[in-house]
Structure 1
Amino acid sequence: MELIIAIFIGLLYACGVYLLLRRSIVKLILGVFVLSNATNLIIFLSGGIQRSGISFIGEQAEKASLESMTDPLPQALVLTAIVISLGISAYILALKYKYFEKTGTHDLDQLSKTDQK
């Protein structure tokens, strides 16, 4: 299962880098979104995949073993990263709106043509 998720993360990174290298501002923004999701998955995968693992020990500490516990730190980091990526997404979309309003184009190749007007 972890191998399949690792391959999927690699595909997401490849798609994200491909989108970042395109000459459209919209594709660049989508590439940033895909890369942030791939990074969230790799952080989540670093905690390990276990079924029915507990994240914390309550009152029954003597019954819980350390092998059955899952690490809650990657889950907390992913939640934090999701909130941060949501804020960055809103900021990037606002910049894209202003960029289109000023230049009238989404294509970065046509940006040099707008300077000549």
Structure 2
Amino acid sequence: MEVILAILIGVLYAAGIYMILRRSLVKLILGIIILGNGANLLIFLLGRVVKGSPPIIPADSDVFQSVYADPVPQALILTAIVISFGLQSFAIILVKRAYKVVKTDDLDEMNAIDKDS
């Protein structure tokens, strides 16, 4: 399972970086989204994928005595998902506005329009 997740993370990182290097703003946003999902899976994988019980200590003991699921990576991923959703929403609105003003989503053409002004 961990090997499959590692390969998937590598594919997501490669696809995200490839999309970020394109000249279109829409592809740039999609690349950022894919790269963010790869980072979330990486954090999840670093927390170790184990089938265990929730991290609740029984009343009659002071320490964990069995394998338990670590909640910290899961909490970090949940926070990252919320933050990335806000960033993606903001970026999509910016792309929409830029396209409405400039009539293109090509970054090279946008730079040429800025230099002409």
Distance 1:92 1:98 in 2: 10
Cα deviations by residue, 1:28-64 (Å, 9 ceiling, x for unpaired): 000000010000000111111112x123215455495
Counterpart of 1:14 in structure 2 is: 14
Give matches, 1:62-73, under 5 Å: 62=61, 65-66=65-66, 68-73=67-72
SS at match of 1:45: helix
Counterpart of 1:89 in structure 2 is: 88
Counterpart of 2:46 in structure 1 is: 46
Distance 2:54 2:103 in 1: 51
Change (3 A) 1:97 1:2: same
1:73 counterpart letter in structure 2: V
- Residue 113 of structure 1: how far off its partner (Å): 4.5
2:49 counterpart letter in structure 1: I
- Residue 100 of structure 1: how far off its partner (Å): 0.6
2:14 counterpart letter in structure 1: A
- Residue 78 of structure 1: how far off its partner (Å): 0.3
Counterpart of 2:31 in structure 1 is: 31
Change (3 A) 1:60 1:23: same
Segments of 5+ residues of structure 1 without an aligned counterpart are none
Change (3 A) 1:61 1:34: farther
Segments of 5+ residues of structure 2 without an aligned counterpart are none
2:86 counterpart letter in structure 1: G
Counterpart of 1:74 in structure 2 is: 73
Structure 1 runs of 4+ with >3 Å offset: 58-64, 112-117
Figure out how many residues of one structure are paired with residues of the other and give that number: 115
SS at match of 2:108: coil
Query: What is the CA RMSD across the aligned residues, in angstroms?
Result: 2.0
Report the identity percentage: 45
- Residue 108 of structure 1: how far off its partner (Å): 1.5
